[in-house]
Amino acid sequence: MLNRIFTGIALASFFLILLLFSNGFIIGTLFSIIAIYGYYEWLTICKASKHNVYFFLLLIILFMVLLLTYHTHSLVLVFAYFSIFIWLMMLLDLLLNLNIYKKLLSLNSSIVGLVFIVMTWFLFISLGSTSNTEIFLHNYLLFSYSELSGLNKYYLFLISIVSLTDMSGYFVGKTIGKNSLCPSISPKKTVEGFIGSLIIPLVIFFILFNFVFSTPILISDIIFMLLCCIFCTIGDLSVSVYKRFHDVKDSGSILPGHGGILDRLDSYLPTISILHIWLFL
């Protein structure tokens, strides 16, 4: 547990400093590297051959370059809505035990991971670009910002709500969790932990916005924050299903107490699209 806490604090501090004192190009480049490495872990989990690993890593880089070069406002909207659709289907699949996700993984796990990672990466670097403002030609989204004064608050919020959801669920589950949420997918997740992961972030943000930032929270804001918290768990469970499907416990060991990069990215996979729809559409 101590390793998990120390690693979490170190990661939070690193990204806080990065968002406050860095620029869009550095952050965009760093997240691109993280996304590529996360996909590498995905390919490692499904035991892709060395040839396929090289092929798919080149493919994801090619997609990134093409999306940066030929992006439009409409394309960002398509990605946001398509991502929402995918994750709503994932939710139904988990609730109704339809096994559609597992069938797709059995067909081609590498392609499934490519879709997840590319969608998340593109929406991350496009944050703010789903608003009804003009996107200038050759504006490379996050990469084009020399300062993040207008955007860093959104990235900070995204990281904060995902981190709070994860920590709340973990500590509440560890402390009072007794009833398993989904034993066949993730035996350590509990109903109590899941409820804690919804209530605690909502309470903290309600207090912060109303009494610290003097910005009243609307009912719609509460609903969207609740959706973000719920889909953090859906993203987590989806990667857990993938790891269990390939009989792997962690995506890697690069982050002590957490596992691999993919184990930290899982909650962001669906949450970023909800943030786009909530704040900018």
Dump pLDDT digits (tens) for 167-216: 899 899 989 988 999 888 888 889 999 999 999 999 999 999 888 888 88
**pLDDT given for residue 8 in this prediction:** 65
Q: What is the pTM of this model?
A: 0.90
Counting Cβ atoms within 10 Å, is residue 273 exposed (0-12), middle (13-18) or buried (19+)? Answer: buried
**pLDDT given for residue 19 in this prediction:** 80
Domain containing 35: what range? 2-280
Q: What total of structural domains would you count in the chain? A: 1
Q: Which residues contact 44 (CB under 8 A, 6 or more apart)?
A: 53, 251, 252
Lowest mean pLDDT among 33-37, 71-75, 120-124: 71-75
Question: Which helix (DSSP H) or strand (DSSP E) does residue 90 occupy?
Answer: helix 73-96
| pLDDT classification of 281: cutoffs 50, 70, 90 | low
Q: Indicate whether 136 pLDDT > 50.
A: no
Please give the DSSP secondary-structure letter assigned to residue 251: S
- Hey, what are 165's tokens? 């959801």
In 3D space, the residue among 191, 116, 127 whose CA is nearest the CA of residue 154 turns out to be: 127
| pLDDT classification of 5: cutoffs 50, 70, 90 | low
